[in-house]
Amino acid sequence: MTDPRPSLATLAVWGGELEKSFWERATQLPIVQSASFGYRDLDEWMAVALGQQPGHIYSRNSNPTVAAFEEKVRLLEGAEAATSFATGMAAVSNTLFSLLESGQRVVSVRDTYGGTSKLFADFLPKLGVSATLCPTGDHDALEREIARGCAIVYVESPTNPTIKVHDIARLARAAHAAGALLVGDNTTATPINTRPLGLGADLVLHSATKFLGGHEAAMGGVVCGPADLVKRIYHYREITGASLAPLNAYLLLRGLKTLAIRVRQQNQNALAVARFLAAHPAVASVGYPGLPDDPGHEIASRQMSGFGGMLCFSLHGGWSAVKQALPRLRLAHCAASLGGVQTFAGPPATTSHVECSAEERAALGIPEGLIRYSVGIEDEADLIADLTQALASA
Ligand SMILES: Cc1ncc(COP(=O)(O)O)c(C=O)c1O
């Protein structure tokens, strides 16, 4: 798309699809469900294979429906390039495995998404890459560790599940001063609320399974950033093979069209729910950067255009109160996902940190009595009424 630059809401609808002429004049992007693409002209085949001419050879490498998904997210994140993956964890792992080498070090925080923290704890050390995990949200500790030297600084903002906010511009300055790259997982904020590349991050990635897709119908992942870095990550993915399937790309593209409108509603609902919970006698604490006394409020007010659709809270009665209250929620799936049009709720032990033992969760600073609540696009009054009846038991 060319200037004048369309807004994010318009890019979510038209980005990656505007200039395309679809098969038989279809107005919707077709699902190109083909593993391979045929050529009778060997010179053309060779030129496409060598990347000298646009086109597709084999869907592990590239596919037209998948390419449209990548282009839409690239435009939304304001990036030079984007490449996609079968899942969010493939996006995280392929980024780290392709850019890091033995002897290097990552600096991150304790409560990244459970799968990501497993990479730091188990998989990267096997390849000779160490990870130093700072207390989540402690920017002084992060800056100290970054200054000791590292190749990658990796953060989520807001974090999953404790909903803490990281100052991306500050961490980008620290990373660049140490010669490191800042990689930001933007799954929970979405580009509607935060655009990490504009704040200085080098790469931004997503579990597209969550807010980008928004309907819990398809898994996917995506990484955006400068062309040279994205090319290295793409090359690793095309060889190791965690490619996004065309049908999933189509479902994610369809979900993306409503991203801006969904996220705006989720921002509004989450703020109303957080305010309600903060005043509820059964609730011990609420984590939501939209609340003025939240530790992340000041950074979020500068960095985010909305405070997001995710919050967490704990109950005075601890784990037994959680076990009583959660199943009583009628307008929330008690399930291991987030970012959908429906509300989802669950404790970290069965959601974000299901991969970790109770001891590992404690070491990562994740309380067992916490509830992660991902707000959908329902009416906020109905969500509050539902929480009121569920918490009556607690
Ligand atoms: C912040 C974050 N990053 C990455 C992932 C991994 O994504 P996926 O489940 O699509 O592999 C998740 C999954 O919940 C997540 O919440």
Out of 119, 207, 215, 352, mutate this one to test ligand 1's pocket (max ligand atoms within 8 Å of CB): namely: 207
Mean pLDDT of the 217-229 span: 98
Task: Please tell me the distance between residue 163's alpha carbon and the centre of ligand 1 in angstroms.
Answer: 14
Q: What are the tokens at 380?
A: 């906020």
Task: Please tell me the distance between residue 264's alpha carbon and the centre of ligand 1 in angstroms.
Answer: 21
3-state secondary structure of 257: coil
Minimum-distance ligand 1 atom for the alpha carbon of 112? 1
Reply yes or no on whether the pLDDT at 354 is more than 80. no
pLDDT of residue 80: 98
Mean pLDDT of the 206-222 span: 98
pLDDT of residue 362: 77
Q: 392: Cβ–Cβ under 8 A, 6 or more apart, which residues? A: none
Reply yes or no on whether the pLDDT at 1 is more than 60. no
357 band by pLDDT with thresholds 50, 70 and 90: confident
Cβ(325)–Cβ(390) below 8 Å = yes
Reply yes or no on whether the pLDDT at 105 is more than 80. yes
Reply yes or no on whether the pLDDT at 309 is more than 60. yes
5 band by pLDDT with thresholds 50, 70 and 90: confident
Rg (the chain; Cα; Å): 21
Task: Please tell me the distance between residue 337's alpha carbon and the centre of ligand 1 in angstroms.
Answer: 8
- All domains in the chain, ordered by first residue: 8-256 (3.40.640.10), 260-391 (3.90.1150.10)
- Separation between Cα atoms, residue 224 and residue 70, nearest integer Å: 9
DSSP tag of 341: S
Ramachandran region of residue 63, left (φ > 0), alpha (ψ -120 to 50) or beta?
beta
Reply yes or no on whether the pLDDT at 3 is more than 60. no
pLDDT of residue 218: 98
How confident is the prediction for the chain on average, in pLDDT?
A: 95
Minimum-distance ligand 1 atom for the alpha carbon of 352? 14
350 band by pLDDT with thresholds 50, 70 and 90: confident
Indicate which residues carry an active-site annotation.
Answer: 60, 113, 185, 210
19 band by pLDDT with thresholds 50, 70 and 90: low
Minimum-distance ligand 1 atom for the alpha carbon of 351? 14
Residues with CB under 6 A from ligand 1: 87-89, 92, 113, 115, 156, 160, 185, 187-188, 207, 209, 219, 221, 352
Task: Please tell me the distance between residue 243's alpha carbon and the centre of ligand 1 in angstroms.
Answer: 16
- Phi first, then psi: give them for residue 338, nearest 5 degrees: -160, 165
Mean pLDDT of the 64-92 span: 98
